[in-house]
Structure 1
Amino acid sequence: METDNNLPVAVVCYYAKGIESALKEYWMNVGNYHPMAGVPFFVFTDGEVLEDPHSFRATFKFVDDIITADAWNHLEAKIATINKFKKICTFPTYQQREVAAPRYTRHFVSNFLKRSLDLTVAPLILLALSPLMLLIALLIRLESKGPIFYAATRAGRNYKIFKFYKFRTMVANADKKLKELQHLNMYEDKKDGPVFFKVSNDPRITKLGKFLRNTSLDELPQLLNVIKGDMSLVGNRPLPLYEATSLTTDSYAERFLAPAGITGLWQVKKRGNKEMSVEERIELDISYAHQRSFRYDMWLIINTPKALVQKDNV
């Protein structure tokens, strides 16, 4: 499929052993050509597992994402978001948007310090709180049927899709009951706008789950996502795909410039505030994406503890 300027909408390359030489040749002969550099590039794996995906991505930086058959149904939305991301990083027209905070920059030292903090703090917290996590796992198993952990597909920075982990706080198969509670959604239902879902005093939440949510203990397994590199300690919350696919317009895509995080500006400023609008939540995400730095991350971490205990059961 091609666009009006005869460029492909995206390039999808089937992964097989020995593909590295072909990818290098592609970049030298085609991908390095300026218009093609803006075309989303995916590597599709079907049964063939990359031994070291992080090394692969570091070597072939023009690869936007490594996808599997599970992501195929969401490829159109992924392409749209990556296109927005590349336009934001490439063209000066986005500077016309009035944002008080400084623009997003890839500052090497700040990014290095941020990742170093993640890889230092996350393992230490996991080790220190492992007895507590074992106790929580036991209580979840005793209270209700179902898995101990809740694993869901989420979209993070640059619409990167990954498995997101939490302690299960709801009854089993809670996702299948989502439509039944749509009339209780605290966010306004907009047919042509962003889609968010939140219910006050959600009936699907267990008694233990309510405590875990209000104390944020349910989010401890996300430290594994931090170590894996899917998330950071500080960033914008990774979104369910039904929410992320509604944020591909020029007005909203900038929030995906920031990495996914356990805590961030939204949590510190508005956590538990049921009066917050969809637009306000997105603006906070965009604000963080533009002014993020290691110093700012440290400020958010310091101010996170007082935001951990929510005022509303959401």
Structure 2
Amino acid sequence: MEGGTGACVALGYFDGVHLGHRRVLARTVEAARERGCTSAVFTFAPPLDRAVKGRAILTPEEKARRIAAMGVEHYVRPPFEEFCTLSPEAFVHDVLAVRFGAKAVFCGDNFTFGSRKAGNVDMLRRLCAAAGISVEIVPMVQREGAPVSSSRIRACLEAGDVETAGAMLGEPYCIDLPVRHGKRLGTALGFPTINQIYPDWMLLPRQGVYVTRVLLDGVWRPSATGLGTRPTVNGDGVTCETFIPDFSGDIYGDRVPVRFCRFLWPTQKFGTLEELSAMVGRAAQAAREWREK
């Protein structure tokens, strides 16, 4: 972007791309159109140990999709290690002024930057003013008397409250993980499932059974998802298995989006496989009947 018309740049981690993030992104896109600039996001890919932030709410692919849907033209996401040692002064010069040719930057009022989070919004204003870059601090979005935040959303997901989490995210909580081969127990019992594995760096919602929606061939189809250890069949580890009524097809290896709509009941152990099969049937019926509020 160097040497072009300049850029309006949104700054932040944007985990979840929640309502507060969307306000920052919308203002960035709007300002870019007003100024005749390109719109851009500068964020980062956390280190593998996830020491910088909590476990991710979205996959990188889903996060990028949600940001692009806001109208952002350029999405820059370098590894955290590439710039974490920069001083605040070097960050403004090397990243904002040189890399982006920034004309304006946008962030929330809790934004920090530079090595060991040495810079805050006041320092950002001062350093950017010296570089001829305007700074706009976008107010946080409030919900039920408190700011919308990634930590609040994580707490909702861990409690199974996917509806409140979705309200704060601005759209339903969604995974888009590759479909893997399972043990085919569901097929044997008459309810074949798609199996997806949460990476250890992603936040795991409350274990249990959910009403979900699966995107196949451009259509969101009713589904029911079991997230847990499968105690009835002595499962090892946590699995994410989704039953899609009236669907058959080979989608192994595909990244299939699954939206979580409502928590039904916790993971439980049944005395027989017939009881397990009946539970899946009840969950599938709940999925067919569910309507978005």
TM-score, normalised with respect to structure 1: 0.23
**Structure whose CA Rg is larger:** 2
Higher share of residues assigned helix? 1
TM-score, normalised with respect to structure 2: 0.25
